[in-house]
Amino acid sequence: MSPAIRVSAAVLWPELGFEEGVSLSIRDGVLESVGKGSYGLDLRGLIALPLFANAHIHIMDWVIQQAGWDLDIDSLVGEPYGVKYVLLRRAPDDTVREGIETVRRYLIRQGVGAIIEFREFGVRGTRIDCRRRHKHHIVLTMPTHHDERAVEEVEEALACADGVAVSSPHYFPEDVLRSILSLAKARGLMTASHLAEVPETREAGDLERLLGAGGADVLVHGTYLSEDDLSTIASRGSLLVLCPRANRWFLGGEPPAYEALRSGVELGIGTDNAGWVKPDVWREAEALHLILRSKGVSSPEPVLKALIGPSTLAGLEPFAVGSTASFMLVSAEGVGARWSRNPLLSLIKNGGPEHVMAVVIDGRLEYCELPEALCAGLRDVLRGR
Ligand SMILES: [Zn+2]
């Protein structure tokens, strides 16, 4: 019999069922079975669930905490003269590296297995942690140049990046935009762009400009997209990443989460600028849930899908039989699941980094807050003992 763990419950992917009294057996780092059972290392009191994805973050911003906090969005993060760019340009690489590592560890301890990051400063930015990154930490390079020099810059940066990120389609001439997106596509890498974050960029036709240059896999914000725009995005199969707390902080409005769902757009959740918005996907998930509820959607399922689904874009297999063992263990007591009439809703509403007790990524125990004997036991199970 394969080594196993026994938990109080598990959230299964992709059906999002909440199954109680579950054992998970693991063979050679692969999840061999998940189902009703009472065998294995006794981890009752914990709920196993798939890891989350933070599908949009600017991690570098962490080291310029709350800089220019009373400025408008353009003065703060507009390229290239916004306060953010002026300060980060002067920040030593070691400082930035330390900030990236702090945020990365914090994301893991909240059960985030996949990160999709917009990385500023072109070649310099991607080299800061080249070849030291976690496998599912996707870094998309943002070129510093916006004219034809951007093409060469992206070509060089892609040696240390997983794709290209466009700050705004309006920043680039259309042929340059097409060229930098094509460079990533030709290598099978990811393309992403901010989109319709404020009314002005949408009115100036940012979606048309991006589509004219071939489109991107991942679109971020979409606050001012119309229902027609959302249908177009749904038909192209792009992921739309919503960052409701960043939109609120930067006074950008509320993303059309309900309309996007109704149009069949696939959603992700991102925490955006780490210097001004706490990089906590649990908080972000609650913010998204409250927006959906205001439009009559009280079910937690769309929010869980948005938290888990984008992991695959970062090469992380969600928790399912036959996949590499990647999951988190959350305290059932902490989220009130024992007394809950709707445990998935309790996870979204009461969940948080403080209730994540262990995180397993690709068969490795990356974080463990359980008593040492249980952490050691879990490590043994993952090693096949
Ligand atoms: Zn952003």
Same domain, residue pair 26 and 71: no
116 in helix, strand or coil? strand
What percentage of the chain carries pLDDT values higher than 70?
100
- Distance (angstroms) between ligand 1 centre and the Cα of 361 equals 26
pLDDT digits (tens, 9 = 90+) for 179-220: 999 999 999 999 999 999 999 999 999 999 999 999 999 999
36 C-alpha to center of ligand 1: Å?
42
Same domain, 124 and 237: yes
User: In this structure, are 273 and 353 located in the same domain?
Assistant: no
State the pLDDT at residue 79. Answer: 87
Residue with tokens 């080249």, as numbered in its chain? 130
Q: What is the pLDDT of residues 302-337, one digit of tens each?
A: 999 999 999 999 999 988 889 999 999 999 999 999
Measured distance CA(216)–CA(241) in Å, rounded: 12
Distance 195 CA to ligand 1 centre (A): 9
Judgement on whether residues 267 and 166 belong to the same structural domain of the protein? yes
Distance 89 CA to ligand 1 centre (A): 18
For residue 56, give the CATH number of its domain: 3.20.20.140
What is the pLDDT, as a whole number, of residue 320? 83
Distance 242 CA to ligand 1 centre (A): 10
Q: Give the CATH number of the domain where residue 40 resides.
A: 2.30.40.10
Domain boundary among 263, 285, 313: 313
**Per-residue confidence (pLDDT) for residue 38, from 0 to 100:** 95
Claim to verify: residue 357 and residue 347 sit in the same structural domain: yes
Q: Read off the pLDDT of each residue in 218-236 and give the average, rounded to a whole number.
A: 98
Ligand 1 centre to CA of 258 (Å) is 21
Q: How close is the Cα of 331 to the center of ligand 1, in Å?
A: 32
Distance 356 CA to ligand 1 centre (A): 26
Q: Is 17 exposed, middle or buried (0-12, 13-18, 19+ CB in 10 A)?
A: exposed
Instruction: Give yes or no: residues 13 and 102 share one domain.
Output: no
Using CA atoms, how far apart are residues 40 and 25, in angstroms rounded to an integer? Answer: 8
Q: Are residues 117 and 61 in the same domain?
A: yes
The CA 274 to ligand 1 mean position distance, Å, reads: 10
Residues 9 and 146 in one domain: no
Residue 307 and residue 323 share a domain: no
Q: How confident is the model at residue 1 (pLDDT cuts 50, 70, 90)?
A: confident
Distance 85 CA to ligand 1 centre (A): 14
* Per-residue pLDDT at 80 exceeds 90: no
Output the CA 97–ligand 1 centroid distance in Å.
Answer: 19
Q: What mean pLDDT, rounded, does the chain reach? A: 96
Half-sphere exposure of 186 (CA within 13 A, CB side): 9
What is the whole-number distance in angstroms between the Cα of residue 256 and the centre of ligand 1? 17
User: How many Å lie between the centroid of ligand 1 and the Cα of residue 273?
Assistant: 6
Report the pLDDT averaged over residues 153-164: 98
Q: Are residues 28 and 71 in the same domain?
A: no
Domain boundary among 288, 313, 338: 313
| pLDDT tens per residue across span 253-299 | 999 999 999 999 999 999 999 999 999 999 999 999 999 999 999 99
Cα of 334 to ligand 1 centre, how many Å?
A: 32
In the reported structure, the alpha carbon of residue 220 is separated from the centroid of ligand 1 by a whole-number distance in angstroms of 7
Q: Which residues of 131-169 are buried (b: 16+ CB within 10 A; e: fewer)?
A: eebbebbbbbbbbbbbeeebbebbebbbebbbbbbbbbb
Per-residue burial over 324-344, b = 16 or more CB atoms within 10 Å of its CB, e = otherwise? bbbbbbbbbebbbbeebeebb
pLDDT digits 0-9 by tens, 25-79 = 999 889 999 999 999 999 999 999 999 999 999 999 999 999 998 999 889 988 8
Q: What is the DSSP letter of 217?
A: S
CA within 13 Å, CB half, 168: 16
Domain co-membership, 39 together with 74: no
Q: Do 224 and 291 lie in a common domain?
A: yes
CA distance 38 to 6: 6
Percent of the chain clearing pLDDT 90 (strictly above): 93
* Structural domain boundaries enclosing 368: 4-50+318-382
Residue 385: band (very low, low, confident or very high) from pLDDT cuts 50, 70, 90: confident
CA 80 centroid distance within chain = 25
| For range 356-366, the mean pLDDT | 97
- From the CA of 276, how far away is ligand 1's center (Å)? 12
Domain count within the chain = 2
State the distance from the centre of ligand 1 to the C-alpha of 339, rounded, in angstroms: 38
